[in-house]
Amino acid sequence: PVKDGSGTSSDDEAAEGLRRRLGQEARAVPPRPVAPQCRGTPESGDDEGLSMSKYLLGALVLVAMGLLIASGLPADANMRRGSSPYPQPLQGCILALPQDSQQQPLSLDPQDSHSLQSVSLLLDRLAKENQEIRLMQAELQAHKEELQALLRRSEDEAAAAGVQQQSLAAENSRLQAALERETAALRDARAELQRLQAVGSPGIPSP
């Protein structure tokens, strides 16, 4: 027992000395000089932030390495003595981890299966409604094209009727003018006949 106690105290002293040495080395490392940058450039603040982040990250890495090395010395000593490098509570967690991490068979909840069935039915209904909407759109497009064809036909017929009406009006005007000329000629012929009859009546010998 006396031997184990002396070994533990020597390990602790070695770890403490290593911690102090690492702390002195970390304090002795001078900061890297930063190149001067032009004032007023928009990237100067970002570069300074990055350099500070790099310094902080380097310091954290040094501290972490020191802690790892310091914590590794007692673990190596304990392993040489035949004991476990982990504390007792941590050993319990490590031993219990495989039992807790065993894969359990997946059990499907009836409510989840009902929800999945409802979702599948809803998707089927939406697909059917989309198909019906496509059919209705196709029918509406066909009716629209048919109405446009009828409208074009009616416009063509109206245009043809307008042309025919114009031709009939022109023919009517021509016939009316011809009738007026014929009426005037007939009137002139009657007047000439009456004049001739009036002139020829005195020269007719009496019996």
The model's pLDDT over 118-137, given as tens digits with 9 standing for 90+, comes to: 888 999 999 999 999 999 99
pLDDT of res. 45: 52
**pLDDT at residue 180, rounded to an integer:** 93
| Number of domains forming the structure of the chain | 1
pLDDT in tens, 17-59: 777 777 666 565 555 555 444 444 444 555 666 677 778 888 8
Express as a percent the part of the chain with pLDDT over 90: 25
Distance CA(147)–CA(141), nearest Å, equals: 10
* pLDDT tops 70 at residue 88: no
Question: Does residue 200 lie in a domain region?
Answer: no
Tell me what the mean pLDDT of segment 101-110 comes to.
53
The parent domain of residue 64 ranges over 1-31+49-80
Residue 189 lies in a domain: no
Residue 97 located in a structural domain: no
pLDDT at 5: 47
DSSP track, 24-77? HHHHHSPPPPPPP--TT-TTHHHHHHHHHHHHHHHHHHHHHHHHHHHHHHHHHH
Q: Is residue 2 part of a domain?
A: yes
Residue 122 lies in a domain: no
**Looking at the domain assignment, is residue 56 inside a domain?**
yes
Quick: pLDDT tens for 147-167. 999 999 989 988 888 888 888
Q: Give pLDDT, residue 86.
A: 47
Are the C-beta atoms of 18 and 66 separated by less than 8 Å?
yes
Does any domain span residue 126? no
Band (73; pLDDT cuts 50, 70, 90): low
In a domain, 18, yes or no: yes
Distance between CA atoms of residues 22 and 67, nearest Å: 9
